[in-house]
Amino acid sequence: MLAPTPYFSDRGCHVRIYEEARALIRRGHEVRIVTYHLGRDLAGIPTRRIPAVPWYRKLAAGPSWHKPYLDILLFCTAAAEVRRFRPDLLYAHLHEGAFLGIFLKMLFRLPLLFDCQGSLTTEIVDHNFVRPGSLPYRLFRLIEGFVNSRADLILTSSGPAARELRERWAVPTDRVRALMDGVDTEEFRPFDREGVKKELNLPAGVPVAVFLGVLNRYQGIDILLDVIKIIRDRGIPLHFLIMGFPHDEYQRRAVAEGLSDRVTFTGRIDYRDAARLLSAGDVALSPKVSLSEANGKLFNYMACGIPVLAFDTPINREILGDAGVYARFADAADFAARLEELVLQEGRRRELAEKVRQKAVEEHSWEARGRDLEEACRQAVL
- Which of 229-238, 274-283, 290-299 is predicted with the least confidence, judged by mean pLDDT? 290-299
Q: Assign 257 a pLDDT band (cuts: 50, 70, 90).
A: very high
Answer yes or no: do 89 and 162 share one domain: yes
Over the chain, what is the mean pLDDT?
96
* CA angle, 304 then 325 then 204, to 5°: 55
Q: Is 215 found in the same domain as 134?
A: no
Least confident of 230-239, 240-249, 286-295: 286-295
**Does 21 map to a domain?**
yes
Task: Decide if 282 is inside a domain.
Answer: yes
Q: Are residues 237 and 304 in the same domain?
A: yes
Same domain, 175 and 273: no
135 & 100 share domain: yes
Both 153 and 243 in one domain: the answer is no
Residue 188 lies in a domain: no
27 with 163, same domain: the answer is: yes
Can you give the CATH number for the domain in which 117 is found? 3.40.50.2000
pTM (2 d.p.): 0.90
> pLDDT tens for residues 127-164?
788 999 999 999 999 999 999 999 999 999 999 999 99
- Indicate whether 187 belongs to any domain: no
User: Same domain for 217 and 326?
Assistant: yes
Query: Do 172 and 197 fall within a single domain?
Result: no
Confidence of residue 122 (pLDDT cuts 50, 70, 90): confident
380 and 111 in contact (C-beta within 8 Å)?
yes
The rounded percent of the chain whose pLDDT value lies above 90 is 92
Could you check whether the bond before residue 6 is cis, i.e. omega within 30 degrees of 0?
no
**What pLDDT does residue 127 have?**
79
Average pLDDT rounded to a whole number, residues 293-320: 96
Range of the domain at 268: 193-364
**Per-residue pLDDT at 52:** 96
Taking the mean position of all CA atoms in its chain, how far away is CA 199? 26
Q: How many domains does the chain have?
A: 2
Residues 162 and 215 in one domain: no
Q: In what order do the strands lie in the sheet with 2-3?
A: 47-49, 33-35, 2-3, 90-93, 112-116, 153-156, 176-178
What would you report as the CA-atom Rg of the chain, rounded to the nearest whole angstrom?
Answer: 21
Alpha-carbon distance 56 to 68, whole Å? 12
What pLDDT was estimated at residue 138? 96
Q: Is residue 164 part of a domain?
A: yes
Q: Looking at the domain assignment, is residue 92 inside a domain?
A: yes
Q: Are residues 328 and 212 in the same domain?
A: yes
Q: How confident is the model at residue 368 (pLDDT cuts 50, 70, 90)?
A: confident
CB-side exposure of 179: number of CA atoms within 13 Å?
28
Determine, yes or no, domain membership for 159: yes
Decide if pLDDT at 218 tops 90: no
Alpha helices in 109-203 (DSSP H): 120-126, 135-150, 159-167, 193-199
Residue 293 confidence (pLDDT) above 90 = no
Q: 70 and 15 in one domain?
A: yes
What's the pLDDT score for residue 63?
Answer: 85
